[in-house]
Amino acid sequence: MIKRSCLFTFFVVVLAQIAIAQQNPPEKKVLIDIENLNGGTVSEIFAENEYIPLEDTKESQINRIEKVESTKDRYIIHDDKKPGRIFIFDKQGKFIKKITEIPGKKMLDEGFREMWVDHERKEIIAEAFWYKDGNYNVFFDLDGKYLRMEKQTGNIYFGNKINAGVDNYMYDVKDTAKVKHRVTFYDGDKPLSKYVEADTNIRASGMDHNLMSWSGIDVNNNSVLFVESKDYNIRNVGVNGVKEVYKVLFPLKNSLPLDFWTNSTYVGKRFPIVNGNPDLVFGLQNLYKINNWLFFSAMHWNGGWNRVMYNLSTATALEMRNIQGDATNGYLPVTGLGLVGTDKENVYAVLSSAVVFQAKEEIAGKNPVYSTLMQEYFKTSSRLGNPVLIRLKLKSDF
Amino acid sequence: MLLILVVCLACLNLYAQQKDPNAIGEIKGVVRDSLHNFSLNAATIAIYNKADSSLVVYQLANRLGEFSAKNIPIGKPLFADFTYLGYKGERRNFTLKAANKVLDFKNVNLSNKDIVLKEVQIKPPPVRMNKDTLEFFADAYTLEKSATVEDLIRKLSGLTVWGDGSITYNGKAINNLTVNGKPFFGGDLKVATQNLPKNIVEKIQVFNKASENNPLDSTLQMNVKLKKGMNKGLFGKVGLGYGTDKRYGADASLNYFNDKMQIALIGAANNTNKTANSVSQLQQNASFKGEGTSVAYNPDFRQQGINRQYASGAQFQYDFLKVRKVIEDADLLTGDYFISKIFNEVQRASTTDRVVPQSADTRKLDNSSNNTVSNRQNLSFNYTLNNSKNSLSVRPRINRNSSESNSSSISSVTTQDGLPQSNASARNLGANTYQFYGVTGGYNLKSPMGSSTSLLKPTFNLSFDISTDESKNDRTNMTDFNSLTDPAQNRSYNRKYQTSVRNSKEMFELQSMPLQQLVFGRYDRSGINMTLRNRLDLNQYKADDRVSDFDVPTNRYQTNNYLTNRTNYNLLNDTYGLNLSRYYELSALEGRYQKTMSVNVALHGQFLKQDNRADQKVQNIGRKYNAFIPSANISYSNQQNGSHSNQYTLEYKTRIEIPEISQMAPLVDSTNVFSFPLGNLNLKESYHHEVVMSFGHNPNKASKGLNYGFNLSYTAINNMITDSIFYDQQGRRTNYFVNANGYQSLGVSGRSTKSFKLADHQLQFRLTASYSYSQRPNYIDGFKNMVQSHSGKVDLNAGYTFKDKLFLDFSQGISNSSSKNVGSANLNSFGNLRLSTSSSLSVPVFNGLTVNTNITYENFKPTNSKAINFSIWNATLIQRFTEEKNIELRLSALDLLRQNKSISVFNDGSTLSTTNVSTLTQYFMISVAYFPRKFGAKK
């Protein structure tokens, strides 16, 4: 009897702890001095680097790579320039197939607006929109063959039917009487759980702009990285709740006042203040978490957005634009215009052929050694050719 | 011309230095932020002579922070400054040794500006890219003490100063220059570049400014940022000259500026055909840097007659703006006052041959002499407000002019064999006053900042122009006409005219806010921008003409009831319609190229109401007109990243021209004994179609390719209002206006520029070519005639500068024009060929002394006439004294060869006139000038 009651008590305590933890998730301070971020060479920062030129033919011509997903033997690429299309290449950059349409259904001019890969089911999921019908997820196999269409529930797809709906705009928070959550998880179309209560103080203070909250993904945990527009806190939200909060702190001169979004005295002045003070960070975007690395862009108007790469274990803060080439990558540029994709070990960047050819010309005197793929690329392509994909493997012991 | 080339080569030999390969070496290294472990892409490395801090060479580090600077002199003490935006600079002193010509600095570490370290004073970098603005720092370039901003600009990579003072960057023209973000004394860039000293300048900024109306278009702007404490100064000129033939010239100017205000006072007097029509022109003639090959400071030998001018004026500017957030922000008031008196004396001798197969040929000879005194006063203000919310401009202006003239002429008409037909003599005395009061302006309400807007976003826009002018004209015309074949045609007139005119105009133009969401709904995705426009022009014209003829018996002037007339003319002109525009992104490959297009269509209608009431009932006319006047334009742009950009434009415009009252029902003035106009009440409005195509090619770097462009235009007019002329044996013509179809014209032009900079040498080339063709219908003695005219012109300009001291300019122009009559009988052609060759040279001889010389050779060959050729050769010796070079002694010799002539040829389809006009010829002058200059606060 005593044993049973002890066990019962134990479970209650554990459950209570879990509940408390969910209400007060662990916080990690992320200190970012955007004027003093470190850099390094590509081999100092990454364990491996690989440059994959994407085959350039009339059929496989890519405009702009918005996202890359990597499978065992494929690169799935979303080109989001109108009309949005999906390209499938092999791991050597050889073109396999292009997906531009849905059999039997005419698409709008913008084509596919978003793309994910379900690694478990080995499916490509593409988002398509129609004015009358709304958003749909269109499913293809990894060879590009059409499978089916389903009405979209959440706007981030993880896999195995698990998806998350993230309310990015505060205008969606219309009704102050009901409690509204910003992140909702679904299994197919069945709601599973919801988190992050909307802060209606922002709306009550008088909104002069349609505030947007950015979101990203934690690749290893199938969870959402959500940033509330009123602060710099990145919430790592999974099906079971908020796991962690990364409290990003900037120097005072780069930080908005704490009540910037909730104090009505700022109504009508928010945009001019941000526009007139280029050092102020007004938001975080392009969020990724892979293992113990956190990636995000700090948005401000002074000299381009900072692309931060932060190690949660060692508290090292790097500026990705200051990662430079060395002999291991033929001294080519490393991170281009930013990350376009991740998997559990790598991040992916992309360079335009114009930049690659110009870079090659500039450093010809160093006699760099290029991979066979790149040598072939330099012989057959030109500055008008397809972009070059870059795979960068993260160091586990940085 | 040969002499100039010889001088040039001799000077080159004097200045030229050979680069000995044993006397030069190299430095290299990597510029890094060692604390944060990365290399500094595009850091600036500048190497200077230690002795005088003059710049030897500079370059930008590559993407990996690496640099390698060659052609570094061996054995000379030098220092290298390393700079990067946001970092403290670093200086390294060094001297290259012959034994080791390559010095490797290895890693040059720069520290973030936040880190406190011992300060090292280094020079700012010669050049850097600050976001979208290219900045050149003046202190990096060592020039002599008297150097101006123009001398500095000549040194800057990518920038070219042309012979006329205009500036281009990588071949593209700089359209606007400001000083500390504001216009400088009227906005003429030469006032700033040729007066401001280089040593008060912190930096020169060059940037693109996008056009508000066309997203595909942008203009290059330049801003001169002055050093702290230097935003205050005084400069001017006091000069006096006297020469042979009683020629004189004097000018004085004083200009003061500070952070808020600019004031200029200026005056000039001369009898050497240097006439100015504005304060800005007076400023151009009084600039400190009056050197180089610019011929702007020479008298105008092509002006007709001798002009003596006394002019003065003032300019004012006040900046109300407290904080300038962006360079477009403005809260500025400017004022301009100009007063001038001109005495003009001109003699003309012309020969007019009528060569039309349908009639007998005649020759008319005219000799005339004219003296005019004209007075002018202009006062104008301009207030400009521009911020993120709205923009406002208001420009009131007042003009008051008066003139008095006295002219006499003698004419005679003979047959082509010399048989006299008639002669006439005339004398005209006149006095005229004119006053103008007007205000123009506009208001634009912009989209709120941060709200979503389409790319083409005209919002609420209102423009207006309101004016009234009054003129009074008193004129007496005494004419005697004698017919040697029919004495019954003899006439004598002594006629007085007193005309008062009052003319009022009001123009309002309103453009609505974008309306597409009203039409297509809130979620409009058509991309079409739709606005309504309405422009209303109102014109009220009242004239009171009192004409009287001298009556010999009574010895008094008696009213001429036919010509005495009061006229009240009202015109209402309303243009209204819909404007549609859309912007297309045709295709793009990110990072590679971008092809875009914009289409604008204006569906406009026009309504005019013309109403004339006059004492002469034949002129009581009321008419209404309605027309559909659409227009459209398409612009296409192809931007190839890192290479070049091409721009194409195609435009179609239409308009109508309504007949004037004087064309429908003129009053015939019998004192004009050779020309009698008749009216035509059946005249219709003419309808004009115009198509214009243009193309421009701009390489991203001037060193990579040619900058060129073409233009093509075509015009066709339906129901053109043209002449129908009848000639009689006396050489008199009766002319009335008719509508005729068949007018067409075609024009093609092209231009190309290229400049090269290599060490101390700079070469510039500019080529322009144009061709035009027109065919204009008219009627001669009842037969339909078509006047076909061709003209072509090619101008090549080449300039060479060595070490910013020697300037050589060469121009060659060829123009050819011809016209022929295509009627029902024989063809008659008239034409002329003009060759113009000119060359200028400016070379410093020794300390402060400069020799300027320019020579222009003109060869002119009209059809059926002997060729006319002449050369105008001018030479000037200029000696500047003091270290600041602000005292000048000038010896000028103008038209040394005494050959200047002024000849014009005119063909109207039935007659060919050749006119010789008196003009300025040879004189010599000695002048002295003092240029007061003081910049910055007192120490």
Angle at B540 between CA B538 and CA B541, to 5 degrees: 140
Among A144, A160, A143, A161, CA closest to A152 = A161
pLDDT tens per residue, range A217-229: 898 888 999 987 7
Confidence of residue B29 (pLDDT cuts 50, 70, 90): very high
Domain assignment present for residue B789? The answer is: no
* Structural tokens at position B6: 């010889």
The pLDDT value recorded for residue B364 is 87
Confidence of residue B845 (pLDDT cuts 50, 70, 90): confident
Average pLDDT over residues B333-346: 95
Higher local confidence (pLDDT), B185 or B119: B185
* Structural tokens at position A360: 């090659």
Indicate the Cα dihedral angle B891, B897, B898, B900, nearest 10°.
-100
DSSP B571-626: EEEEEEEEEEEEEEEEEEETTTEEEEEEEEEEEEEEEEEEEEEESSGGG-EEEEEE
Could you tell me which residues are beta bridge partners of residue B677? Answer: B735
Residue where the block lists tokens 């069945």: A190
Yes or no, beta carbons of A209 and B37 under 8 Å apart:
no
pLDDT of B859 over the 90 cut: no
pLDDT of B616 over the 90 cut: no
A-B interface: how many C-beta pairs under 8 angstroms? 73
Yes or no, beta carbons of B589 and A63 under 8 Å apart:
yes
The maximal CA–CA distance of chain A, rounded, in angstroms, is 83
Could you tell me which residues are beta bridge partners of residue B540? Answer: B504, B570
The pLDDT value recorded for residue A5 is 59
pLDDT of A12 over the 70 cut: no
Could you tell me the CATH number of the domain that includes residue B48? Answer: 2.60.40.10
pLDDT of B201 over the 80 cut: yes
Instruction: Say if residues B199 and B292 touch (Cβ distance below 8 Å).
Output: no
Q: Which of A64, A80, A357, A384 to mutate to test the interface with B (most CBs of B within 10 A)?
A: A384
Yes or no, beta carbons of A325 and B64 under 8 Å apart:
yes
The pLDDT value recorded for residue B119 is 56
pLDDT of B670 over the 80 cut: no
Average pLDDT over residues B320-340: 88
Among B539, B541, B622, CA closest to B574 = B539
The pLDDT value recorded for residue A229 is 72
Phi, psi for residue A10 in degrees, rounded to 5: -60, -50
Average pLDDT over residues B832-846: 87
CA separation for the pair A357, A73 (Å, rounded): 27
DSSP H or E stretch at residue B206: strand B201-210
Yes or no, beta carbons of B450 and A275 under 8 Å apart:
yes
Instruction: Say if residues B356 and B828 touch (Cβ distance below 8 Å).
Output: yes
CA separation for the pair A276, A281 (Å, rounded): 12
CA separation for the pair A114, B723 (Å, rounded): 70
Q: Find the radius of gyration of the CA atoms of chain A.
A: 23
- Judging contacts by C-beta atoms under 8 Å, the chain B residues touching residue A272 are 388, 449
CA separation for the pair A66, A110 (Å, rounded): 14
Confidence of residue A70 (pLDDT cuts 50, 70, 90): very high
Distances (CA, A) of B393 to A383, B399, B440, B535: 47, 20, 8, 18
Domain assignment present for residue B436? The answer is: no
B114 → closest Cβ in A35, A383, A387? A35
Lowest mean per-residue pLDDT among A92-101, A286-295, B258-267, B844-853: B844-853
What does the domain layout of chain A look like in residue ranges?
A: 25-394
CA atoms within 13 A on the CB side of B163: 26
pLDDT of B904 over the 80 cut: no
Distances (CA, A) of B587 to A62, A85, B279, B528: 12, 15, 49, 18
DSSP H or E stretch at residue A372: helix A372-380
> Which of A 58-87 lie inside 8 A of B, CB atoms?
61-64, 81-82
- Provide the CATH number for the domain formed by A25-394 in this structure: 2.130.10
Average pLDDT over residues B197-207: 93
Distances (CA, A) of B757 to A204, B221, B292, B863: 63, 22, 18, 44
CA separation for the pair A117, A88 (Å, rounded): 12
Per the prediction, chain B carries an average pLDDT of: 86
Number of domains composing chain B: 1
CA separation for the pair A78, B261 (Å, rounded): 57
Yes or no, beta carbons of A354 and B591 under 8 Å apart:
yes
Distance from chain centroid for Cα B614: 41
pLDDT tens per residue, range B527-573: 888 999 999 999 999 999 999 998 888 989 999 888 888 899 999 99
CA separation for the pair A28, A235 (Å, rounded): 10
Average pLDDT over residues B708-728: 93
Average pLDDT over residues B639-644: 84
Average pLDDT over residues A327-339: 90
* Structural tokens at position A228: 């509330």
Confidence of residue B3 (pLDDT cuts 50, 70, 90): very low
Structural domain including B86 reads 22-124
Lowest mean per-residue pLDDT among A86-100, A223-237, A322-336: A223-237
DSSP A121-137: TTEEEEEEEETTTEEEE
Which residue of chain A has the CA closest to B589? A63
Average pLDDT over residues B666-681: 82
Lowest mean per-residue pLDDT among A110-124, A325-339, B287-301: B287-301
Instruction: Say if residues A75 and A389 touch (Cβ distance below 8 Å).
Output: yes
Instruction: Say if residues A240 and A264 touch (Cβ distance below 8 Å).
Output: no
Could you tell me which residues are beta bridge partners of residue A289? Answer: A218, A294
* Structural tokens at position A310: 């932060």
Phi, psi for residue B545 in degrees, rounded to 5: -100, 120
Instruction: Say if residues B363 and B414 touch (Cβ distance below 8 Å).
Output: yes
Angle at B496 between CA B495 and CA B499, to 5 degrees: 135
Lowest mean per-residue pLDDT among A13-17, A223-227, B118-122, B810-814: A13-17
Distance from chain centroid for Cα B247: 29
Domain assignment present for residue B77? The answer is: yes
Which residue of chain B has the CA closest to A321? B38
C-alpha distance from B450 to closest chain A C-alpha (Å): 6
pLDDT of B782 over the 70 cut: yes
Domain assignment present for residue B68? The answer is: yes
Confidence of residue B4 (pLDDT cuts 50, 70, 90): very low
Assess A191–B contact: CB distance below 8 Å, yes or no.
no
Distances (CA, A) of B783 to B663, B684, B723, B830, B910: 20, 21, 12, 19, 12
Yes or no, beta carbons of A36 and B64 under 8 Å apart:
no
pLDDT tens per residue, range B448-479: 654 444 444 447 789 999 999 999 999 999 98
Distances (CA, A) of A34 to A258, A318, B42, B586, B670: 19, 9, 20, 38, 88
pLDDT of A209 over the 60 cut: no
CA separation for the pair B383, B200 (Å, rounded): 28
pLDDT of A13 over the 60 cut: no
Buried b (16+ CB within 10 A) or exposed e, B734-762: ebbbbbbeebbbbbbbbbbbbbebeeeeb
Domain assignment present for residue B41? The answer is: yes
The answer for residues whose C-beta is within 8 angstroms of residue B751's C-beta and 6 or more apart is B708, B709, B766, B767, B768, B769
The pLDDT > 90 percentage for chain A reads 54
Residues in chain B whose Cβ is within 8 Å of chain A: 33, 36-39, 62-65, 86, 112, 114, 131, 325, 388, 449-450, 585, 588-593, 641-642
Instruction: Say if residues B853 and B876 touch (Cβ distance below 8 Å).
Output: yes
pLDDT tens per residue, range B255-269: 999 999 999 999 999
Instruction: Say if residues B39 and B108 touch (Cβ distance below 8 Å).
Output: no
- Judging contacts by C-beta atoms under 8 Å, the chain B residues touching residue A279 are none
Indicate the Cα dihedral angle A179, A181, A185, A191, nearest 10°.
20
Instruction: Say if residues B621 and B608 touch (Cβ distance below 8 Å).
Output: no
- Judging contacts by C-beta atoms under 8 Å, the chain B residues touching residue A319 are 38
- Judging contacts by C-beta atoms under 8 Å, the chain B residues touching residue A40 are 37-38
Average pLDDT over residues B933-938: 85
Q: Which of A38, A61, A277, A307 to mutate to test the interface with B (most CBs of B within 10 A)?
A: A38
Which residue of chain A has the CA closest to B130? A303
B588 → closest Cβ in A63, A275, A322? A63
Domain assignment present for residue B574? The answer is: no
B64 → closest Cβ in A271, A324, A358? A324
The pLDDT value recorded for residue A2 is 54
Beta strands A241-249 and A233-238 are antiparallel
pLDDT tens per residue, range A36-48: 999 999 999 999 9
- Judging contacts by C-beta atoms under 8 Å, the chain A residues touching residue B592 are 352-354, 383-384
C-alpha distance from A316 to closest chain B C-alpha (Å): 11
Instruction: Say if residues B33 and B57 touch (Cβ distance below 8 Å).
Output: no
CA separation for the pair A56, A376 (Å, rounded): 12
Lowest mean per-residue pLDDT among A207-221, A297-311, B218-232, B253-267: A207-221
Confidence of residue B643 (pLDDT cuts 50, 70, 90): confident
Distances (CA, A) of B682 to B44, B405, B611, B676, B736: 75, 38, 16, 19, 11
pLDDT tens per residue, range A263-289: 778 877 787 788 778 889 988 988 999
- Judging contacts by C-beta atoms under 8 Å, the chain B residues touching residue A276 are 325
* Structural tokens at position B5: 């080339």
Instruction: Say if residues B850 and B878 touch (Cβ distance below 8 Å).
Output: yes
Domain assignment present for residue B102? The answer is: yes
The maximal CA–CA distance of chain B, rounded, in angstroms, is 111
ipTM entry: 0.85
Yes or no, beta carbons of B64 and A331 under 8 Å apart:
yes
pLDDT of B168 over the 70 cut: yes
The answer for residues whose C-beta is within 8 angstroms of residue B63's C-beta and 6 or more apart is A324, A325, A333, A359, A362, A363, B41, B42
The pLDDT value recorded for residue B11 is 45
* Structural tokens at position A278: 């280029």
Lowest mean per-residue pLDDT among A192-201, B2-11, B494-503, B571-580: B2-11
Higher local confidence (pLDDT), A199 or B780: B780
- How many residues in total does chain B contain? 939
Instruction: Say if residues A170 and A213 touch (Cβ distance below 8 Å).
Output: yes
